[in-house]
Structure formats: structure tokens, C-alpha cells
Amino acid sequence: MFDFEVLVQQLITGLSNGMIIALIAIGYTMVYGIIELINFAHGDVFMLGAFFALTLMGVLGMESWGPGGQAVGVAAMLVGSALFCGALNWSLDRVAYRALRRSSKLALLVSAIGCSFICMNLGLFWGGLPMDVFAGGVAAAAPKDFPALVPQVNLLGESFIRITPADALVFAVTIPLMVALTLMVNRTNLGRAMRAVAQDPVAASLMGIPVDRVIGATFFIGGALGGFASVVYSLYNNTIGFQMGTRAGLDAFTAAVLGGIGSLPGAVLGGLTIGCVRAMSDQYLETRWTNTIVFCILVLILIFRPSGILGSSRKEKV
């Protein structure tokens, strides 16, 4: 018999994971929108954000704080990782991408892949630091436990369907960020400048827009969203590892392409879709097929509708 409650439960899980994927996907889509680069290092920046958060937790000894203190701790990790990932992503652009602005897109892409490897190895090194939170750092490559500062209780009481504070945290963090980002892009001078640079960088520079600084700001904002996502992801899944950026990054990249690369609502829609598809596949097929299904979606989209669901391929008047 079909169990409706299981379906609802999987949808909740799918939407929570989907919101996290969406937040990472926005980082891909913003950077692609402005310089047509798939920033392959983005997933690894996200991963380093999680390591930064765990380190912060260890250094400050957050686990021994009271419940109120831990709420402050979560806020501190969110802000800390956002700033860290924003700065890191900005630095990647400054060091590895900016000099290649006038080169071929391929050179830029190869540089991004290189950055991805560097960040991943940085994560491997980081996990080997002799700290308690990294289990003494004896097994650098091993997955690390990320303490569940957010209690795993059911907010719905005895109900079969579980909504935990971790689910609530996911939505409480991601939705305001997405709203704020949308307002920023549509209403502020920087947001308008970002759209102008995305549409025509030469015309933007002829209007006095400092194109490189606007691109740098885009990298910072995209990275910061990845940082927020990394903390939420870690508190939700309670395990981190130096390779987590690859999978999360590919999910998010697929989400961005599915929604229409370059489109912010597309990234959110794509993220939610991929999150739900993963949850359904885990439940009704088998976990081992889930990645296959996600990549099939990516391949099919690239073949049949490369502009994605919300992306436009319309030509503009010249």
C-alpha cells in the first residue's frame, strides 16, 4: 500500500536539502551570469566554509555553551563562514580569474578547475590539523562529525511526520537570504550595476561602472551565500568532509542549469527540484541510483533545453 506520510516526509527532506542546494546554485548562477564562467571551485569554497565553521566551533568551545549560547554560536558560524567564503571566492577571482578576463573562456574554466583542486587539498590539509573537532587530525581524509547544535527533536510532537529545528533553520536562513538578494539585485545601485555588467560589460564600463570591482562583489556575494549554505548543511547533515564540495557542487550546478543558468529564480526552482528528486530516488528507488538520476537530468537538460526552465534564449534587438 502506498504510504502517504512517507511521501510527505520525503518531500520535507527534499525541500530542506533543496533550499541548501539552491543557495549554492545561486553562487554558480550569479558568477555565470556576469562572466560566463562555471566557477568549479564554488563547491569547494562551500566545503571550506564548513571546515571554517567547525574550527570556529572548536576554538570557541561552543559545544559546552548553554542553549542560548549555542544559538549565538550558530549565528556566529553563519556570519563567520559567510565572510570567510565571500573573501575566499573574491580572492579566487582576484588571483586566478581576473587576469584571464580577455582570454578564452576555456582558459578561465581550466583555471577554475585548478582552483577547485587547490581548495579541495586545502580541505584535506585542514582536516589533518591536530584539533579535537577533527578527532585529533589523525585521519585527515576521514569524514568529520559536525556536532548537532540544533536539537534533533520533532517540532510536531508525537506525529509520524518529523519537522526538526534543523529543517526550520534551513528555511529561516535560506528564505530571508534569497529575498534580500532579490531586493539587492533589483533595487540597489550595486545590483543594477551587476545586471548591467552581465548584459554588456563594455557599455557598463562606458557608463563609469568599475567592472572589475562589480565582478569582485559578485564573487563575494556568491561565496558568502555558499558560506551560509555550508553552515546550514553541516548542522543539517552533521558530517563534513573534504570531498563534500564535489557532490554538493555538482548537485547545485545541475540545479542552476536545470533552472536556467544566469537566472536567480531558476536556481531556486532547480535546487528545490533536485532536492526533491534526490529524496524521492532515495526512498522509492535506491540511494545508489540517486547520483545517476541527477546526472541524467543534467545530460538531458544540456541536450534538449540548454537554456533551462526559466532561462531565455531570445535574441535582443541590436
Nearest to 171 by CA among 277, 13, 30: 13
* Comparison of 66 and 208: residue with beta carbon closer to another protein: 208
* By CB under 8 A, residue 36 contacts another protein: no
- Per rule CB under 8 A, is residue 107 in the interface with another protein? no
Q: Does 204 bind another protein (CB under 8 A)?
A: yes
Torsion sign, CA atoms 103, 104, 106, 109: positive
Backbone angles phi, psi at 209, to 5 degrees: -80, 125
Regarding 207 and contact with another protein (CB under 8 A), the answer is yes
Dig out the grid coordinates for 267 from the structure. 536556481
User: Using the rule CB under 8 A, is 104 a contact of another protein?
Assistant: no
Answer whether 58's CB lies under 8 Å from 238's CB: no
Regarding 202 and contact with another protein (CB under 8 A), the answer is yes
Q: Are 277 and 294 in contact (CB under 8 A)?
A: yes
- Of the candidate spans 26-34, 168-176, 202-210, 244-252, the one that interacts with another protein by CB under 8 A turns out to be 202-210
SS3 assignment, position 309: coil
Hey, which residues does 240 pair with through a beta bridge? 144
209 binds another protein (CB under 8 A): yes
CB of 102 to another protein, least distance (A): 10
Contacts of another protein in 172-201 (CB under 8 A): 189, 192-193, 195-196, 199-200
The correct pick among 153, 175, 203, 300 for binding another protein (CB under 8 A) is: 203
> Residue 315 corresponds to which amino acid?
K
Question: Which span sits near another protein by CB under 8 A: 14-22, 250-258, 281-289, 310-318?
Answer: 310-318
Catalogue the E-assigned strands of 80-133: none
Tell me the CA distances in angstroms from 45 to 173, 199, 204, 223, one per residue in order: 19, 26, 29, 7
Residue nearer to another protein on the CB measure, 136 or 210: 210
Distances (CA, A) of 65 to 8, 72, 145, 240: 35, 9, 18, 22
By CB under 8 A, the count of residues binding another protein is 20
Q: Which is nearer to another protein, 68 or 208 (CB)?
A: 208
In angstroms, rounded to a whole number, what is the distance separating the alpha carbons of residues 96 and 30?
18
- For another protein, give the closer residue by CB, 196 or 217: 196
Does 318 bind another protein (CB under 8 A)? Our answer is yes
Q: Tell me whether residue 204 or residue 224 sits nearer to another protein (CB atom).
A: 204
Name the residues that contact another protein, by CB under 8 A.
189, 192-193, 195-196, 199-200, 202-211, 316-318
